[in-house]
Amino acid sequence: MFRPLVTVSLVAIPLLYIKPIHANEIDVTGSLAAGTSNRTDDGVGSASLRARYAWHPNVAVGLSLIAAAGETDERSIGAFALTAQLGKTFGRWRPSLRAGLIHQHETAVEDFEDSPLTVTLGVDEAIRHRTGGIAEVGLTLDLYTHRYGVAFAASDLTTQVMFDDNGPRAYMLLGLGLGVRIGTL
């Protein structure tokens, strides 16, 4: 009984004394992307909103909300992704690598039009719930620096691989966006 408690304590207590090297940083990015899936002639377009929190200059976690449409099956796609990010700052440039999990709801556009609320909430019977892995290579360029934050342009190359075959198995998208960053990293 005491063994798990002792093990957790030995791991957790030292973490309480680790101080971040710098203060925290938060950014929000809105972007548009276009790409394809592994299906023939399946163009995909998306809009996304990503919030990112960094507690260290090179490490961050993010949450993305994504709305997309796929050409084959005329489907609508709603998704969220949780990612971990590694990056480095080179003057105004910030290249980064992100990896994580994505969960998406795919449904025919006509089903979305018939009942947008239940489809958006993920409780409609016509939804295909799908989960997969997501990997991204990103690059941001600081455009304007103010004492309260930074405005930046962002580009991302995103790859998704779904864990099932209930739709396209893989997606690849190229996105462009704008964002703001606050904090002191």
Please give the residue that has the higher pLDDT: either 120 or 133.
Answer: 133
pLDDT per residue as tens digits for the range 1-27: 445 444 444 444 444 444 443 458 899
User: The whole model's pTM is what?
Assistant: 0.81
Query: What is the DSSP annotation of 56-90?
Result: ETTEEEEEEEEEEEETGGGEEEEEEEEEEEEE--B
Q: Which tens digits make up the pLDDT trace of 58-75?
A: 899 999 999 999 988 888
* Cβ–Cβ under 8 Å, residues 38 and 167: no
> Which domains occur in the chain, in start order?
21-183 (2.40.160.20)
Structure confidence at residue 30 as a pLDDT band (50, 70, 90): very high
Summarize the confidence of residues 43-62 as an average pLDDT.
Answer: 93
For residue 139, the SS3 value is strand
Strands 59-70 and 93-108: unpaired
CA angle 87, 104, 176 (to 5 degrees): 45
- Rounded to an integer, the average pLDDT of 31-35 is 97
Query: Please, which residues have CB within 8 angstroms of residue 56's CB and are 6 or more apart in sequence?
Result: 20, 21, 22, 185
